[in-house]
A and B are shown apart, each in its own frame.
Chain A
Amino acid sequence: MILVVMISILLVAGFFCWLLAQWNVSMVKWISLSAVAIDFLLTCFILWQHSVTPLLNSPAWLVEYRADWIPSFGISFHLAADGLSLLLLLLCFFLGLLAVACSWNEIHQRTGFYYFNLLWTLAGIAGVFVALDLFLFYFFWEVMLVPMYFLIAIWGDNNRRYAAYKFFIFTQAGGLLMLLAILALYFIHGAQTGTYSYDYFSLLSTTLSPTASRWIMMGFLLAFVIKLPAVPFHNWLPDAHSEAPTAGSLILAGLLLKTGAYGIIRFVVPLFPQAAAAIAGWAMLFGVIGIVYGALMAFAQTDIKRLIAYTSVSHMGFVLLGIFSFREIALQGVVMQMITHGISTGALFLLAGMLKERLHTRDIAQMGGLWTSMPAMGGMALVFVMASLGLPLLGNFIGEFLVLLGAFPANGPLAIIATLGFVFSALYSLRLMQRVFLGPLTIETPLRDLNARELATMIALVISIVLLGIYPQPVLDLVRPTVMQLVEGASVATR
């Protein structure tokens, strides 16, 4: 029930924001902030509740809620959260808080509708992370698109419409293929057992012929790799990220991409272990291509948000590589990578947004030497640039290292090429740092350094990324049951 409450708080608050914006704009901000904050606290509460009892002994699914929705099709309103889901929920609400905070002064037009969209996007994402009915999952999967589309198309930059179309059409294409796959699975399962159901647990027991399994899995996988995104389906990302408002980029990079990874972990591998094992090599290859290609593209960019966007492509390559190595270590690394990438890239987008707010440009050729006027921002940027190039002590390193460590036994050559990503990530990261903050000062007008709100946001992010870097164990423990199940499933399949 608590999960339902969480999602509905966001939805209802979103509505209120829209309606109340006519009267009082600042109240809207507070409403949305408190709605996300309540959700954040609720998630913390659940986690705290379960940390009282040792996690390893408790059942995998910590919270569950189930109700009939469309019984005529066997569709139920089934929400449940295990460690992975809770973790991602935590990330979702954490970044949600930051998104609300960073929009505080950025958005002046249609504020109510803006926060409506923001909250509904968050609700959709939260729903994706906890939905255990495939239809419901698809439902949330699509629900988060529309508000996100609005966020880009209304409050975005100059080329926002193109970006918004592209984003929507790409993800929708994947989504519909997934819907087809879901339906196929539903009917195969129904024909086998006689009960037609979209429930995750019932569908888990479906036995599929190799061919059917391959096709159905491809439907799922395609939707997820588009969202992830893996090369060559990544083209929506640079456009969407660079044109979206700051909070939009933050949510896109920090959360939306994670839904793709989450989908692979939650659905593709458990539902189709054999088929997943069969294409593991290819998937890892695409992961590695993504790592290298994204890094090369990032290096070439001159638009700061585009650059950061391509780093996401590179980082998400690790996710693909890790998942399909089917090793516990690698999967733990994937989870770490998801969380830390959300934080670090989100932070970079926040910084890019702040730069844009001050300089009114995203072109790094017009920046330079900003450290002199904004040392605090420079320091923060340094932390996250270092995080994105995988410096130990910061969270991202743990993720990438574990992924590679786990992937190495699975496929040595690919893991080695992926490790070369370290070099490339250094190339683009330092280039970013140098072009923006170092070098001679090019901008004469005095620039304001971070204000208290911005500083608080950034410090929260720094603390979390460092904490994840030096003490990631709670995260690892939390997702261990999920990961173990996955690994066992995969090992049974490959045997």
Chain B
Amino acid sequence: MNNLIALIPAFPFLGFLLLFLIGRQLPKPFIAWIGAGTVCAAAVLVLLLGIQFLQAPPADGAYTQTLWQWLSTGHFSCAFRFRIDALSLVFVFVITFVGALIHLYSVAFMKEDRDYARFFASMNLFVFAMLVLVMADNLLLLYLGWEGVGLCSYLLIGFWYETPANCRAANKAFYITRIGDTAMAIGLFLLFKELGTLTIPDILNASPTHFQQGASNTTLIALLLLAGGMGKSAQLPLQTWLPDAMAGPSPVSALIHAATMVTAGVYLIARMHVVFQLSPLAMAATAVVGGLTLLVAGFSAMVQTDIKRILAYSTISQIGYMFLALGVGAWSAAIFHFFTHAFFKALLFLAAGVVIESLHHEHNIFRMGGLKNRLPLVFKTFLAGAAALAALPFVSSGFYSKDQILWYTWSAGGGSPVLWMLGISGALITAFYTARLVIVVFYGEMKTPVSTYPAKLMTVPLVILAVLSVVAGFVEWPHNILHLSLFSELVQKVLPATILRTGIPSEIVFQGIAILLTLTGIYSGYYLYYRNTHVIGQWQQKPAFVAVRNFFFSGWGFDRLYNTVFVKPFVWMTDLNKTDFFDQINKGLASGSRQLNRWFSYSQNGSLRWYVAGVLVGVLFILTLQLFV
């Protein structure tokens, strides 16, 4: 098996190559086969690998395979080497499995599109890059994947490039993530300067001895890596790109902007946990960023009207939970939430895609409604996903993962009541907007007629994901209910176990509060949007409410802020100097010479007397020189 892990990314890459080079000449079924088939093949491989890994774990906890020496110069050396340990395995599994489902879904979803081949080529490239990211043995290779997924994200957000808004969204996504990437690159340089290596195991081994606890350079490195993660995972203050990224096709949103790429930041931090652990400040920062993000995004999600934007903000919010968990040291909890979130958020996006597709590309939830009976299957699956998102107690995977995080935010080593407060209020908000979403879209009267019904190939992935959204959480139970911790046992082969603070009240209290708040949230959604819909209408008469709503709606005004503070001055400045003021120096020299030429030309006026005077002046010059030298 050791020699086969390279095949996992190789399959999608092969698919990409074929589609990129000759895709336009192929008929659509062929494209579908190549595009979806390669990812499915990878998924199968991963399944086999996973089974083997669980049954007979490798000696050093990881499978590795070196393809070739990539770079070797001086004391810097880097290879194309893949490495799968437990952490990677989780990610690889999610990527290939969810990826395969989404590819299958896309085969039907994108059927009518002209650029079928380009779509699958980009998707395959994305899967390849994402796999490289999580399977990388060194940070340079990781960075390769990291940038690769950014590229694919760019390509797929701007997939329908004829619309300028889509291109703008794509560019915005790339620019903002690039800021994070650049910070991360600086982090890599710093890390290399300190440790002389970028190989992940070496870093993990060397860090505790090389760095001192809380030393400034450690903190700096960790913060820079965090910044990288913030960009890619759309955390405050680099979160503004993700809502706009919904311009891409729904499968793209599902795969890239919900399930996989946006969690790369989580992976990076988890991967570099040793460095982070050495810096309490960085840990705290991670937690605070996560906590703030989940609230900010949650508030925005409450008032959105575009179904995909709601989901986008909820994604930001959920990743905020993961960051929060990472920040308090609840490593496995974060990964677990990633695991469940991947399923239910992919499901939600795919279902949303079906809804949108069925309603003539209608995105506004208030022009939907009453779909419960028209699209029953979609409704049921969507409900499963929504339940997980809202963390409906016991019957949803989201409950298990989120509950764990909430518990640890109070009790883990880095936890604190404040962080817990952030998390728990986020839970309330999440429940509220989830309820709002489901109720507005599926209940009430129908506002737009359903035009098309989803194909089989689209519903099957929905069902599979719905099942997973429910059952995926069962691998890990709260300690006080059922002592089952399959997931954290697996992950803790790589990540440290969460250390609890002492003197914590019983867990049951927190669970109770969480459940209570979730239900409250769901009920208030139900109350406001189903029972007493006029309440909202009354509120909307009040300017203060409208102002607050608009503020949340615009994503807390971040876009406008960045526009005025960064974008406009930048464009103004570059435009001002478009002609390059250095050129003025040269032009000045040239025109100066011309002016001199003009002056000198006046001396050539054709008058003999003047010429003799010139000679005379020359003589005087020579004689004067002799007089005074």
Which A residues fall within an 8 A CB radius of B? 166, 231-232, 234-235, 238, 296-297, 299-302, 327-329, 332, 369, 371-372, 375-376, 379, 382, 386, 391-393, 397-398, 401-402, 404-406, 408-409, 412, 415-416, 419-420, 422-423, 426-427, 430-431, 434, 437-441, 470-473, 476, 480
Q: Is the CB of A235 within 8 A of B174?
A: no
Residue in A392, A427, A470 whose Cβ sees the most chain B Cβ within 10 Å: A392
Contacts of B585 in A (CB 8 A): 232, 235
Q: Which residues B64-86 have CB closer than 8 A to chain A? A: 68-74, 76, 80
Given contacts A234-B582, A371-B161, A439-B162, whether A476 and B178 have CB atoms under 8 Å apart is no
Q: Is the CB of B182 within 8 A of A419?
A: yes
Q: Is the CB of B74 within 8 A of A328?
A: yes
Q: Is the CB of A470 within 8 A of B182?
A: no
Contacts of A300 in B (CB 8 A): 574-575, 577-578
Contacts of A406 in B (CB 8 A): 74
Q: Is the CB of A422 within 8 A of B181?
A: yes
Q: What distance in Å separates the Cβ of B221 from its nearest Cβ neighbour in chain A?
A: 12
Binds A, one of B187-195, B278-286, B319-327, B382-390: B187-195
Q: Is the CB of B192 within 8 A of A405?
A: yes
- A170 to chain B: closest residue by CB: B586
How many residue pairs bridge A and B at CB < 8 Å?
A: 130
Q: What distance in Å separates the Cβ of B573 from its nearest Cβ neighbour in chain A?
A: 7
Q: What distance in Å separates the Cβ of B244 from its nearest Cβ neighbour in chain A?
A: 14
Q: What distance in Å separates the Cβ of B171 from its nearest Cβ neighbour in chain A?
A: 5
Q: Is the CB of A473 within 8 A of B182?
A: no
In the complex, B140 has a CB within 8 A of chain A:
yes
Q: Is the CB of A441 within 8 A of B162?
A: yes
Q: What distance in Å separates the Cβ of B542 from its nearest Cβ neighbour in chain A?
A: 41
Q: Is the CB of A422 within 8 A of B182?
A: yes
- A429 to chain B: closest residue by CB: B174
Contacts of B556 in A (CB 8 A): none
Q: Which residues B167-182 have CB closer than 8 A to chain A? A: 167, 170-171, 174-175, 178-179, 181-182
Q: Is the CB of A402 within 8 A of B178?
A: no
Q: What distance in Å separates the Cβ of B240 from its nearest Cβ neighbour in chain A?
A: 15
In angstroms, Cα B579 to Cα A302, docked, is 11
Q: Is the CB of A470 within 8 A of B70?
A: yes
Contacts of A327 in B (CB 8 A): 74
Q: Could you pull out 11 A-B pairs where Cβ atoms are within 8 angstroms?
A: A296-B573, A332-B74, A379-B20, A397-B144, A408-B189, A408-B192, A419-B185, A422-B182, A437-B161, A439-B161, A439-B162
Q: Is the CB of B190 within 8 A of A408?
A: yes
B contact patch SS: helix
Q: Is the CB of B178 within 8 A of A426?
A: yes
Chain B, residues 35-74, CB within 8 Å of chain A (1/0): the string is 0000000000000000000000000000000001111111
Contacts of A408 in B (CB 8 A): 189-190, 192-193
Q: Is the CB of B580 within 8 A of A430?
A: no
Q: What distance in Å separates the Cβ of A444 from its nearest Cβ neighbour in chain B?
A: 15
In angstroms, Cα B73 to Cα A82, docked, is 18
Residue in B74, B147, B164 whose Cβ sees the most chain A Cβ within 10 Å: B74
Q: Is the CB of B71 within 8 A of A398?
A: yes
- A439 to chain B: closest residue by CB: B164
Q: Which of B73, B161, B190, B578 contacts A301 (CB 8 A)?
A: B578
Chain B, residues 178-211, CB within 8 Å of chain A (1/0): the string is 1101100110111011000000000000000000
Q: Is the CB of A296 within 8 A of B577?
A: yes
In angstroms, Cα B190 to Cα A71, docked, is 53
Q: Is the CB of A430 within 8 A of B582?
A: no
Q: Is the CB of B185 within 8 A of A473?
A: no
In angstroms, Cα B144 to Cα A393, docked, is 7
In the complex, B151 has a CB within 8 A of chain A:
yes
Contacts of B575 in A (CB 8 A): 300
Residue in B118, B181, B186 whose Cβ sees the most chain A Cβ within 10 Å: B186
- B582 to chain A: closest residue by CB: A232
Residue in A376, A404, A415, A426 whose Cβ sees the most chain B Cβ within 10 Å: A426
In the complex, B148 has a CB within 8 A of chain A:
yes
Q: What distance in Å separates the Cβ of A347 from its nearest Cβ neighbour in chain B?
A: 16
In angstroms, Cα B285 to Cα A399, docked, is 33
Q: Is the CB of A472 within 8 A of B71?
A: yes
Q: Is the CB of A440 within 8 A of B573?
A: no
In the complex, B510 has a CB within 8 A of chain A:
no
User: How many of B's residues come within 8 Å of A, CB to CB?
Assistant: 51
Q: Which residues B541-586 have CB closer than 8 A to chain A? A: 573-575, 577-578, 580, 582-583, 585-586
Q: Which of B24, B71, B161 contacts A369 (CB 8 A)?
A: B161
Q: Is the CB of B72 within 8 A of A476?
A: yes
Contacts of A371 in B (CB 8 A): 161
Contacts of B174 in A (CB 8 A): 426, 430
Q: Is the CB of A419 within 8 A of B162?
A: no
Q: Which of B151, B189, B583 contacts A405 (CB 8 A)?
A: B189
In angstroms, Cα B182 to Cα A329, docked, is 19
Q: Which of A329, A431, A473 contacts B70 (CB 8 A)?
A: A473
In the complex, B229 has a CB within 8 A of chain A:
no
Given contacts A423-B179, A441-B162, A473-B71, whether A430 and B171 have CB atoms under 8 Å apart is yes
Q: What distance in Å separates the Cβ of B522 from its nearest Cβ neighbour in chain A?
A: 42
Which B residues fall within an 8 A CB radius of A? 20, 24, 68-74, 76, 80, 118, 140, 143-144, 147-148, 151, 154-155, 158, 161-164, 167, 170-171, 174-175, 178-179, 181-182, 185-186, 188-190, 192-193, 573-575, 577-578, 580, 582-583, 585-586
In angstroms, Cα B146 to Cα A422, docked, is 14
In angstroms, Cα B583 to Cα A300, docked, is 15
Contacts of B193 in A (CB 8 A): 408-409, 412
**12 other A-B residue contacts (CB within 8 Å) besides A416-B186, A419-B189, A423-B178:** A231-B582, A234-B582, A235-B586, A238-B580, A392-B148, A402-B76, A405-B76, A408-B189, A408-B190, A419-B186, A438-B158, A476-B71
Q: Is the CB of A401 within 8 A of B140?
A: yes
In angstroms, Cα B581 to Cα A297, docked, is 10
Q: What distance in Å separates the Cβ of A75 from its nearest Cβ neighbour in chain B?
A: 33
In angstroms, Cα B128 to Cα A393, docked, is 12
In angstroms, Cα B580 to Cα A166, docked, is 15
Given contacts A238-B580, A441-B162, whether A422 and B178 have CB atoms under 8 Å apart is yes
Q: What distance in Å separates the Cβ of A42 from its nearest Cβ neighbour in chain B?
A: 28
Q: Is the CB of A439 within 8 A of B167?
A: yes
Contacts of B580 in A (CB 8 A): 235, 238, 297
Given contacts A427-B175, A434-B171, whether A404 and B185 have CB atoms under 8 Å apart is yes
- A415 to chain B: closest residue by CB: B189
Given contacts A297-B580, A434-B171, A441-B162, whether A392 and B143 have CB atoms under 8 Å apart is yes
Q: Is the CB of B148 within 8 A of A393?
A: yes
In angstroms, Cα B179 to Cα A375, docked, is 29
- B164 to chain A: closest residue by CB: A439
Q: What distance in Å separates the Cβ of A170 from its nearest Cβ neighbour in chain B?
A: 8
In angstroms, Cα B158 to Cα A431, docked, is 13
Q: Is the CB of A426 within 8 A of B175?
A: yes
Contacts of B143 in A (CB 8 A): 392
In angstroms, Cα B118 to Cα A401, docked, is 29
Contacts of A415 in B (CB 8 A): 189
Q: What distance in Å separates the Cβ of B572 from its nearest Cβ neighbour in chain A?
A: 10
Residue in B73, B144, B155, B171 whose Cβ sees the most chain A Cβ within 10 Å: B73
In angstroms, Cα B71 to Cα A382, docked, is 25
Contacts of B161 in A (CB 8 A): 369, 371, 437-439
Contacts of A297 in B (CB 8 A): 574, 577-578, 580
Given contacts A392-B144, A392-B147, A423-B175, whether A235 and B583 have CB atoms under 8 Å apart is yes
- A407 to chain B: closest residue by CB: B189
Q: Which of A238, A369, A472 contacts B162 (CB 8 A)?
A: A369
Q: What distance in Å separates the Cβ of A417 from its nearest Cβ neighbour in chain B?
A: 10
Contacts of B24 in A (CB 8 A): 375-376
Q: Is the CB of B586 within 8 A of A166?
A: yes
Contacts of B178 in A (CB 8 A): 422-423, 426
Q: Is the CB of B69 within 8 A of A391?
A: no
- A487 to chain B: closest residue by CB: B74
In angstroms, Cα B161 to Cα A439, docked, is 5
In angstroms, Cα B586 to Cα A422, docked, is 29
Contacts of B154 in A (CB 8 A): 430
